[in-house]
Amino acid sequence: MPQFRLSPFTGDVMQTINPWTWVFNVNLGNSGAPEIERLVLDEVGSYGRQLGRVGDALAVLVKKARDPGYAFTEKDNNALDDLLSQVRAVDDVKKNYRGRRT
């Protein structure tokens, strides 16, 4: 790999850029429970999938709130069921993790 001198005050600088780490490295930020977050991502679904389900279910509820006579469609019920199933799965991961630590 070539070396570059960025200014007369620096030494040789070498940096390897691995695009795979950009794709597969998830920064969990300042999570209070990073291990639980990692398990949820592994076992329940990505942030994108989780947010997608929240968005789908929220859209159903907004329709209902705007029009009390709105009848849920099968697709609406599926969106709500998917979200509830995901919430239960996250709860299961949390319970199982806490059980391992005691």
In a domain, 17, yes or no: no
In a domain, 5, yes or no: no
pLDDT at 42: 92
Structure confidence by residue, pLDDT tens digits, 5-54: 555 555 555 555 555 445 555 565 677 888 999 999 999 999 999 999 99
- Over residues 54-62, the mean pLDDT reads 96
What is the share, in percent, of the chain residues with pLDDT greater than 70?
Answer: 70
Domain encompassing residue 69: 32-101
pLDDT at 98: 83
Query: What's the rounded Cα separation, in Å, for the pair 17 and 25?
Result: 13
Q: Name the domain count of the chain.
A: 1
In a domain, 13, yes or no: no
Query: What's the rounded Cα separation, in Å, for the pair 79 and 67?
Result: 18
Query: What's the rounded Cα separation, in Å, for the pair 96 and 50?
Result: 20
pLDDT at 101: 66
